[in-house]
Amino acid sequence: MSQTPSPDRPTTRRHSWAEPYKIKMVEPLQVTSRAERESALAGAGWNTFLLRSRDVYIDLLTDSGTNAMSQEQWAALMLGDEAYAGSESFYRLERTIQEVYGYPFVVPTHQGRGAEHIISQVLISPGDVVPGNMYFTTTRLHQELAGAAFVDVIVDEAHDPASEHPFKGDVDLDKLQRVIDEHGAERIPYVSIAVTVNMAGGQPMSLANIVAVRELCDRNGVPLYCDITRIAENAWFIREREPGCAQLSVAEIVRRICDLTDGAWMSAKKDALVNIGGFLAVRDEGVFDEARNLCVVYEGLHTYGGLAGRDMEAIAQGIRESIAQAHLDARIGQVHYLGQQLVREGVPVVRPLGGHAVFLDAAGILAHLPQDQFPAQRLAGELYLEAGVRTMERGIVSAGRDPRTGEHRRPRLELVRITIPRRVYTQAHMDVTADAVLAVWDRRASVGGLDMTFEPKYLRFFQARFAPR
Ligand code: F0G
């Protein structure tokens, strides 16, 4: 086991990241013609979120809810207790969360943003400031809707796609202390960290940094809450890269991270290997009481939170599978297999390669386009036209507008995310995807910009429409 920083390939297996499973059921894929894709993309206003999945060949839009469940998860569905109140499935999920993550109090929610909504409403008062390691779209929006301003305190390297920093998810402790000094600890309801950091490229936080953030929070009397949506992947990177951590299991690292925080929310649609679900988990009984009270308003009774009993069974099983070393070796190994093909050909991608996706540096690839012409949105469209591969913009469109000024937020990262669902696609699908990127890379000089023709008020990237200039 190597401890050198930033290997782009897993070193836990010397030869292969081969999947620790075989395929029992298959779902047919449809290959479309270029003309069909042109018509579908125009109909979708050049927004890959507005394509119908039947028009997509390889769907790398997201790793959210797109995972393949195991036979154990499918079997667990049959055990779902669909009682309105006091479902056994809830208690099984609660016990799993207590055992794996260590939080005593659990509120199930329909997905991650349901938990983000509740924790934001419980902890935030209007005028508060929430520091965090880079924004995530739904997380920040719920913090803003509760009356807070989000302040980014991630290390500078996170905003530089070429930086090889092994833990680009780390918090810059000086930035965090400055935010607390400037606004006063009483205006900071909590520090909001995420493991891994999605918008930075699926980049991990180091255990040492989380320890230091905890100490800083304690010195200032500020709670620490964590988005643990991709915590198993973050733990894999810590084990791989952080000095002194190679002897720990992923499960132990996961538990250490959670032990350092006052509570967490999770979109179970990622790490936990299901198609729907999420939860909030906290240590403070007062916070729990308020959270489960809001749960009955917005989600459902506090023992189902918008989920069927069978969903909670699948999540409980998925959480246990998510921390298996062989699963994570294959999962991240596949992401890196794709990424290395692009790196070898000189395509600018976010370095080091992250956990759930390969992020193309659209600002580097379409360097002739100003950010106002939405280079990443265009590049995602071009990949779809090229081979029916669906990816997602993570740049100026995703960043949205500043609620105070109404101006575009201009993130330094203008990225296209090629996101890999867990246990779904094969090595050959990764090859097709790499070929599509390389074909667009070859003709990049002739790719033009886009105009935005429709802009929704909230989370505009989901529904905005565009036309070629
Ligand atoms: N936190 C993180 C880090 C996420 O990546 C997501 C969702 C959420 C919270 C919200 O969870 O979707 O279950 O409501 N990310 C998806 C993605 C949408 O494609 O990255 P949700």
Q: What is the CATH number of the domain that holds 349?
A: 3.90.1150.10
Q: What is the pLDDT of residues 145-157, one digit of tens each?
A: 999 999 999 999 9
124 part of a folded domain:
yes
Q: Are residues 175 and 214 in the same domain?
A: yes
Q: Are residues 355 and 258 in the same domain?
A: no
Task: Select from 322, 338, 372 the last residue of a domain.
Answer: 322
Q: Which residues span the domain enclosing 374?
A: 34-56+325-468
Q: Are residues 285 and 335 in the same domain?
A: no
Which amino acid residue places its CA nearest to atom 19 of ligand 1? 62
Which positions are catalytic? 84, 136-137, 227, 270, 394, 461
Task: Select from 287, 322, 357 the last residue of a domain.
Answer: 322
Element holding 450 (H helix, E strand): strand 450-454
The low-confidence residues of the chain, meaning pLDDT below 50, are 1-7
> In DSSP terms, which residues pair with 450 in a beta bridge?
468
Q: How many other CB atoms sit within 10 Å of the CB of residue 241? A: 21
Q: Are residues 245 and 370 in the same domain?
A: no
Residue 302 is given by DSSP the state: T
Separation between Cα atoms, residue 357 and residue 349, nearest integer Å: 11
Q: What is the pLDDT of residues 386-433, one digit of tens each?
A: 999 999 999 999 999 998 999 999 999 999 999 999 999 999 999 999
Q: Are residues 275 and 381 in the same domain?
A: no
Q: Are residues 393 and 268 in the same domain?
A: no
Which amino acid residue places its CA nearest to atom 8 of ligand 1? 112
Nearest to 257 by CA among 207, 328, 202: 207
Q: Within 262-388, where are the H helices?
A: 285-298, 309-322, 325-344, 362-365, 375-387
Q: Are residues 300 and 338 in the same domain?
A: no
For residue 60, the CA-to-ligand 1 centroid distance in Å is 15
Q: Are residues 317 and 330 in the same domain?
A: no
* Burial class of 199 by CB neighbour count within 10 A (0 to 12, 13 to 18, 19+): buried
Residue 333: φ, ψ to 5° = -60, -40
Residue 277 tokens read as 């679900």
Separation between Cα atoms, residue 56 and residue 388, nearest integer Å: 5
Residue 187 tokens read as 């205006």
Separation between Cα atoms, residue 337 and residue 173, nearest integer Å: 34
Q: Are residues 290 and 334 in the same domain?
A: no
For residue 15, the CA-to-ligand 1 centroid distance in Å is 33
Separation between Cα atoms, residue 420 and residue 424, nearest integer Å: 8
Domain CATH code at residue 234 = 3.40.640.10
362 part of a folded domain:
yes
Residue 424's pLDDT is 98
With tokens 């538990």, the residue in question is: 255
20 part of a folded domain:
no
155 part of a folded domain:
yes
Separation between Cα atoms, residue 302 and residue 292, nearest integer Å: 6
300: left (phi over 0), alpha (psi -120 to 50) or beta: left
Best mutation site among 136, 142, 233 for ligand 1 pocket (most ligand atoms within 8 Å of CB): 136
Total number of domains in the chain: 2
Taking every pair of C-alpha atoms in the chain, what is the biggest distance, in angstroms? Answer: 61
Q: Within 30-154, where are the H helices?
A: 34-43, 71-77, 88-100, 112-123, 137-145
Using CB distances shorter than 6 Å, the residues near ligand 1 are 62, 64, 111-113, 136, 138-139, 194, 198, 227, 229, 267, 269, 278
Separation between Cα atoms, residue 276 and residue 64, nearest integer Å: 8
Nearest to 201 by CA among 425, 413, 434: 413
Q: Around 266, how many Cα atoms within 13 Å sit in the side-chain half-sphere?
A: 32
271 part of a folded domain:
yes
193 part of a folded domain:
yes
> In DSSP terms, which residues pair with 416 in a beta bridge?
360, 393
Q: Are residues 301 and 393 in the same domain?
A: no
Task: Select from 278, 299, 322 the last residue of a domain.
Answer: 322
Q: Are residues 162 and 251 in the same domain?
A: yes
For residue 273, the CA-to-ligand 1 centroid distance in Å is 13
For residue 36, the CA-to-ligand 1 centroid distance in Å is 30
Count of helices and strands (H, E) across the chain: 16, 14
Best mutation site among 64, 110, 269 for ligand 1 pocket (most ligand atoms within 8 Å of CB): 64
Any residues with CB less than 8 A from the CB of 47 and at least 6 apart, and which? 377, 461, 463, 464, 465, 466
